[in-house]
Amino acid sequence: MLKRLKTHLTFLCSFILVAHVYSAQYQGIILDSQSHKAIPYVSIHTSNNNDIYGSMSNDLGEFSISFDFDSLVFQHINYTPYILKKQSYKDTLYLNPLSYTLNEIDVYATESLWIRKKLHLVVKNKKKFYTLPSSIQQDYVYNTYTLSDSSGYEFESKGILQSNKNEYSILPILSAIKYKDSTAGTDFSNLRRMLHDDFLPRFTSNFIKNNSFRENKGFRHTNPNVVQLFYFSNDKLSDDGYLVIDTLKNVILEAQQNLGTQSNIENNTSSLLLKVAESRGFTYNDWITQTQYIYTEINGSYLLQSCIYKLYMRTTTENKKQSNSYFVSTESTVRLSNPTLTNSVSNSKQFLILPKPYYIVPIYTKTMREEEEKLQRIKRTYKKF
Share the mean pLDDT of the chain: 86
Same domain, 97 and 120: no
Instruction: Place 348 in a pLDDT band, splitting at 50, 70 and 90.
Output: low
Instruction: Place 359 in a pLDDT band, splitting at 50, 70 and 90.
Output: confident
A 10 A CB-CB count for 108 gives: 15
The answer to the question of residue 109 being in a domain is: no
Determine if the pTM surpasses 0.75.
Answer: yes
Same domain, 243 and 303: yes
Q: Which of 44, 73, 101 is the last residue of a domain?
A: 101
Same domain, 320 and 178: yes
SS3 category, 271:
helix
Average pLDDT in the 349-356 region? 89
Same domain, 241 and 326: yes
The answer to the question of residue 257 being in a domain is: yes
- For 55-101, the pLDDT digits (tens) are 888 889 999 888 788 888 888 877 888 999 888 888 999 999 875 45
Full strand arrangement of the beta sheet holding 92-95: 62-65, 26-32, 92-95
Q: Which of 62, 78, 101 is the last residue of a domain?
A: 101
Of 197, 255, 209, which is closest to residue 116 (Cα–Cα)?
209
Q: Tell me the sheet residues that pair with 148.
A: 328
The string of DSSP letters for 287-314 reads: EEEEEEEEEEEETTEEEEEEEEEEEEEE
Same domain, 272 and 376: yes
- Strand segments (E) across the chain: 26-32, 43-48, 51-56, 62-65, 71-76, 79-85, 92-95, 135-148, 152-164, 167-178, 211-215, 226-233, 240-246, 251-259, 282-298, 301-318, 323-342, 352-353, 381-383
Same domain, 31 and 120: no
The answer to the question of residue 106 being in a domain is: no
Of 224, 155, 147, 212, which is closest to residue 189 (Cα–Cα)?
155
Same domain, 66 and 185: no
CA distance 189 to 37: 33
Cα angle: 69, vertex 70, 74; to 5 degrees: 75
138, 220, 239, 13 alpha-carbon torsion, rounded to 10°: 70
CA distance 25 to 81: 22
A 10 A CB-CB count for 209 gives: 9
The residues near 48 (Cβ < 8 Å, ≥ 6 apart) are: 22, 67, 68, 69
CA distance 274 to 254: 34
On the question of pLDDT at 21 being above 60, the answer is no
The answer to the question of residue 107 being in a domain is: no
Average pLDDT in the 151-180 region? 91
Q: Cβ distance 10 to 37 under 8 Å?
A: yes
The answer to the question of residue 183 being in a domain is: yes
Same domain, 172 and 295: yes
DSSP secondary structure code for residue 216 in this structure: B
CA distance 335 to 138: 10
Side-chain-side CA neighbours of residue 359 (13 Å): 14
- For 304-326, the pLDDT digits (tens) are 999 999 998 889 999 888 888 88
Amino acid 329 reads S
Same domain, 128 and 87: no
- CB crowding 365-378: b at 16 or more within 10 Å, else e: eeebeebbeebeeb
Same domain, 85 and 131: no
Same domain, 206 and 161: yes
Same domain, 78 and 45: yes
Q: Which of 101, 134, 155 is the last residue of a domain?
A: 101
The answer to the question of residue 220 being in a domain is: yes
Q: Cβ distance 41 to 57 under 8 Å?
A: yes
The answer to the question of residue 108 being in a domain is: no
Window from 37-51, 202-216, 263-277, 321-335 with minimum mean pLDDT: 37-51
Of 145, 153, 177, which is closest to residue 17 (Cα–Cα)?
145
Q: Cβ distance 339 to 136 under 8 Å?
A: yes
Q: Which domain holds residue 80?
A: 2-101
Cα angle: 378, vertex 303, 213; to 5 degrees: 120
On the question of pLDDT at 249 being above 60, the answer is yes
For the chain, the residue count is 385
The answer to the question of residue 30 being in a domain is: yes
For the chain, the domain total comes to 2
CATH no. for residue 53? 2.60.40.1120
CA distance 179 to 51: 8
